[in-house]
Amino acid sequence: MNSVSHTPLTPLSFLERTARVWPDKPGVIYGNRSLSYGELAAQTTRVAQALRASGVRAGDRVAYLMPNLPEMLVAHFAVPLAQAVLVAVNTRLSGEEIAYILDHSGAKVLITDSAFLPAVAPAVQVADTVTEVIVFEDAEAGVGTDAAASAAIGSRLVSYEDFTARGSDTPLDWSVEDELAPISINYTSGTTGRPKGVVYTHRGAYLNSFGEIVHSSHHPDSVYLWTLPMFHCNGWCTPWAVTGIGGTHVCLREVRGDTIWQLIRKHRVTHLNGAPTVVTTILNAEEAGPLDHRLVITTAGAPPSPTTILQMERMGFGIVHVYGLTESYGPYSVCQTQPQWSALPPEERAAVQARQGVGMIQTEGLRVVDEHMADVPADGSTMGEIVMRGNNLMAGYYRDPEGTAQAFRGGWFHSGDLGVMHPDGYVELRDRAKDVVISGGENISTIEVEQALMSHQAVLEVAVVGVPDEKWGERPKAFVVLKTGREATEEELIEHVRTKIARYKAPRNVDLVAELPKTSTGKIQKFALREPEWAGRTHRVQG
């Protein structure tokens, strides 16, 4: 291909350009620390050079186990700048789970926050590919280093300061030769077996970043608060996107309602991302209140209920509802707002906004298909599997050709999500294939039941799963967290559901609980609720 008219795509070019155009502009804020974009680029170069000095070569995997700190943001540019592959590890995993990811990815170096050393110590005893464990001490949070864990790691332990001292300011090339080379490997949650390593490319990350900029309406004045973990789908590619547009990153070590509201007001935050459960935490914090500036919340991970959408509207927030998976670089579709929706009654408008929508600008769009890969009727009721393809689908599962072939069968990526296609071309998710409740031969969408429960004024959070039933095979059961200071009985909640949807879909039992089990990204872990209900019995779907 003509080199004059073709340059391989890479999000590395975003930081190079932004540091050149706005070298003095605030790029990252964390507590009392602040880095301009010029300083961010310089730190990135130094870390990339330090990785090379530590023996990291092109294609090697570099693992990071770290909260949303500036160092984690630097990693998204420094690791690929060193021509290596970033493996961002979930910070809530056990030592055994961390060991599996380090071993499976063949990570050469692990860079970790000191808080995670107790989990890291046993993990690196198993993962013998790791030559060094580089530990960062977060002075802003006052987090020290565990002496016993440090001793267990032994001579492989290196301080972050000593590591970066190996680096230099000698410039590196911000371009790549092959845009289809891996930029990162993201591991799935692994609730139904070992997690899979999802391979992202430079090209895919570059294009998905533009989708984030366009659909979340980012601009050079964006102030983005890091409520979404950077280890989750590389933060939906937002480390690259916000940098590319020249916005400011506000880092956050821990998702807490009071801290979030403090930072929103202090820095006049304009954007944040998160799962609906994270949004619920923000909306229901004691410090919550209307703002005198616009805040756009991009939400995904589970369908937000119409009730949550209305609550966001009342707070004056802009709402961007997106849908995707780890395999699609995070968001793949968006519920694109239509002008005529503004004339709808609030509840009806919220219902259409809760749909998963249409493919984002950088995608090839969504299909809903039957078992023969034929499109289901666009009638809003015939269910099928949601499939997708294009530039923003993974290159494949790392070291798993069989799993990749299965996911890509028929030339499309199979999401495992069940949905319907509406006459207007918008897709609506009805359930995960493993979560749908089949009661007496009838499919019951747990999402539909959850949304009915969420419309009750006392309900804060809810999860619905299928449980055994002697007559019908299985039936829905609800687990509900009530709002602070609110009361509701099991009978009252069941009757409320019956006023919203067909009676046979209503749960027979509602357990009032203090909290729901969640992943580190805020997704509710339904398997943790379902498994005890099926103990000693054979369930038709595992996981």
The CATH number that applies at residue 36 is 3.40.50.980
State whether 362 and 489 are in the same domain. no
Q: Does 542 map to a domain?
A: no
Q: 102 and 188 share a domain?
A: yes
**8 Å CB contact between 300 and 521:** no
Residue 120 maps to a domain: yes
- SS3 call for 80: helix
Helix segments in 415-499, DSSP class H: 446-454, 490-498
CATH number at residue 517: 3.30.300.30
Same domain, 318 and 404: yes
Q: Is the pLDDT of residue 481 over 80?
A: yes
Q: Are 67 and 111 in contact (CB under 8 A)?
A: no
Instruction: Calculate the CA 288 to chain-centre distance.
Output: 24
- pLDDT tens digits for range 389-422: 999 999 999 999 999 999 999 999 999 888 999 9
- Burial class (CB within 10 angstroms; exposed 0-12, middle 13-18, buried 19+) of 39: middle
Q: In terms of domains, do 129 and 268 share one? A: no
Band of pLDDT at residue 482, cut at 50, 70 and 90: very high
Q: Which of 383, 409, 432 is the last residue of a domain?
A: 432
Same-domain check for residues 394 and 451? no
- CA quadruple 29, 33, 35, 36: dihedral, nearest 10: 80
In a domain, 543, yes or no: no
Is residue 124 in some structural domain? yes
Asked, for residue 225, whether it belongs to a domain, the answer is no
Residues 375 and 513 in one domain: no
Report DSSP state, residue 452: H
Check pLDDT > 70 for residue 1: no
CATH of the domain at 400: 3.40.50.12780
Average pLDDT score over residue span 153-174:
96
User: In this structure, which amino acid lies at residue 38?
Assistant: G
Query: Nearest-CA neighbor of 264 among 67, 29, 76, 523?
Result: 29
Q: Is 292 helix (H, G, I), strand (E, B) or coil?
A: coil
What's the rounded Cα separation, in Å, for the pair 294 and 251? 19
Q: Which two tokens stand for residue 131?
A: 């030559």
Closest CA to 184 of 234, 111, 112, 119: 234
In a domain? residue 119:
yes
Q: Say which residue, 535 or 1, is predicted with more confidence.
A: 535
Q: Which of 432, 466, 501 is the last residue of a domain?
A: 432
Lowest mean pLDDT among 97-106, 241-250, 269-278, 355-364: 269-278
Has residue 450 been placed in a domain?
yes
User: Across the beta sheet with 384-388, what order do the strands follow?
Assistant: 366-369, 384-388, 413-421, 427-432
pTM for the full predicted model: 0.85
Helices (H), 437-489: 446-454
Can you give the residue range of the structural domain that contains 39?
12-168+180-202
Query: Above 50 in pLDDT, residue 425?
Result: yes
Edge-to-edge strand ranges of the sheet holding 109-113? 157-159, 132-136, 109-113, 61-65, 85-88, 182-187, 197-201, 396-397
Which is more confidently placed, 44 or 192? 44
Q: Which residues contact 531 (CB under 8 A, 6 or more apart)?
A: none
Percent of the chain beyond pLDDT 70? 96
Asked if residue 446 and residue 372 are part of one domain, the reply reads: no
Residues 192 and 298 in one domain: no
Distance CA 465, CA 513 (A): 14
pLDDT at 303 over 70: no
Per-residue pLDDT at 208 = 97
21/130 same-domain check: yes
Helices (H), 290-400: 306-314, 346-353
Asked if 460 contacts 311 with a C-beta cutoff of 8 angstroms, the reply is no
- Number of domains composing the chain: 3
pLDDT tens digits for 337-353? 999 999 999 889 988 99
Give a yes or no: residue 335 inside a domain.
yes
- Say whether pLDDT at 180 is over 60: yes
Is pLDDT at 542 greater than 50 in this prediction?
Answer: no
Q: Which residues contact 61 (CB under 8 A, 6 or more apart)?
A: 84, 85, 86, 87, 105, 106, 107, 108, 185
**455 and 425 fall within a common domain:** no
CA–CA separation, 460 vs 308, rounded Å? Answer: 9
Q: Which two tokens stand for residue 403?
A: 């799993």
Q: Are residues 504 and 522 in the same domain?
A: yes
pLDDT at 460 over 70: yes
Q: Which residue has the tokens 């949550």?
A: 308
Q: Same domain, yes or no, for 284 and 407?
A: yes
